[in-house]
């Protein structure tokens, strides 16, 4: 079995500031069958420590927890592929998101380090916001994200973060990666409130591949997080037929 227990689903992004908010988010959503895991970020971890954050989540569920350091993969190989990976694994993290903007050697060290520690390596390349690529006035070459994905695939990575706000990019990356990975799986942020990505269109863009929507404010910012999550997923299942 892979990282998640289903082929399609939703991953709440736990981008909240306090442990009480995290507790409420997990409490209200962990029993929903389409919730496949949780993504935690640096705000909670730096404030409270990863062990304490994981303890809150584990008091409700054993679903996999993904750590997104926003953005991991931008340091030297010895750092990104070093002891920090073991620390994350020992704390109870199942997978780590990384954007290997520091180059191929950092990517190699990261992938190898994850294999050794038993972490699932999840590689991102293109982000959801404007001004990232050179063509938009940014600093990352237009072909850079594609190279990150393809190089990661050649190293054995099967999970990829692609931008849920950029449907054409989603289609392009998912189609090309199938040539390098027998069964690529895609996580896509930027859905709903804040960045405005459409969850139905995003799942359609990566069809027929396995996919997981990363949803932040569309769930955690709602008072009734259970109903908010259900509405999102009902919109998907009423519009699409998964294989």
Per the CB < 8 A criterion, the answer to whether 31 and 65 are in contact is: no
> What three-state secondary structure class fits 243?
coil
The H or E element containing residue 198 is: none
Phi, psi of 168 (to 5 degrees): -65, -40
Q: What is the pLDDT of residue 218?
A: 94
> Could you tell me the pTM of the whole model?
0.95
The low-confidence residues of the chain, meaning pLDDT below 70, are 1, 194, 242-243
User: Could you report the per-residue pLDDT of 35-50, keeping only the tens digit for each?
Assistant: 999 999 999 999 999 9
Pick the CATH number of 8-239 from 1.10.340.30, 3.30.70.20, 3.40.640.10, 3.20.20.70: 3.20.20.70
Q: What is the pLDDT of residue 1?
A: 61
Residues in the chain: 243
Per the CB < 8 A criterion, the answer to whether 91 and 119 are in contact is: no
Q: What is the pLDDT of residue 242?
A: 67
| Residues paired with residue 121 on neighbouring β-strands, in sequence order | 96
Per-residue burial over 32-48, b = 16 or more CB atoms within 10 Å of its CB, e = otherwise: bebbbbbbbbeebbeee
User: Could you report the per-residue pLDDT of 102-116, keeping only the tens digit for each?
Assistant: 999 999 999 999 999
Q: What's the rounded Cα separation, in Å, for the pair 170 and 65?
A: 24
């Amino acid at each position: 079995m892979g990282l998640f227990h289903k082929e399609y689903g939703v991953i709440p992004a736990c981008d909240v500031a306090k442990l009480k908010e995290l507790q409420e988010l997990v409490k209200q959503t962990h029993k929903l069958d389409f919730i496949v895991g949780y993504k935690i970020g640096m705000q909670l971890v730096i404030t409270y420590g990863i062990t304490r954050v994981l303890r809150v989540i584990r008091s409700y569920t054993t679903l996999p927890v993904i750590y997104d350091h926003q953005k991991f993969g931008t340091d030297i190989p010895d750092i990104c592929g070093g002891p920090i990976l073991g620390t994350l694994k020992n704390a109870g993290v199942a997978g780590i998101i990384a954007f290997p903007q520091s180059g191929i050697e950092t990517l190699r060290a990261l992938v190898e380090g994850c294999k050794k520690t038993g972490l699932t390596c999840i590689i991102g390349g293109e982000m959801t916001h404007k001004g990232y690529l050179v063509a938009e006035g940014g600093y990352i070459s237009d072909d850079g994200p594609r190279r990150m994905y393809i190089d990661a695939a050649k190293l054995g990575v099967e999970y990829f973060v692609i931008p849920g706000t950029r449907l054409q990019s989603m289609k392009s990356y998912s189609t090309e990666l199938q040539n390098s990975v027998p069964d690529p799986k895609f996580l896509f942020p930027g859905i709903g409130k804040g960045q405005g990505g459409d969850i139905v269109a995003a799942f359609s863009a990566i069809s027929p591949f396995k996919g997981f929507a990363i949803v932040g404010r569309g769930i955690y910012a709602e008072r009734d997080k259970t109903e908010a999550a259900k509405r999102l997923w009902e919109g998907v299942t009423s519009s699409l037929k998964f294989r």
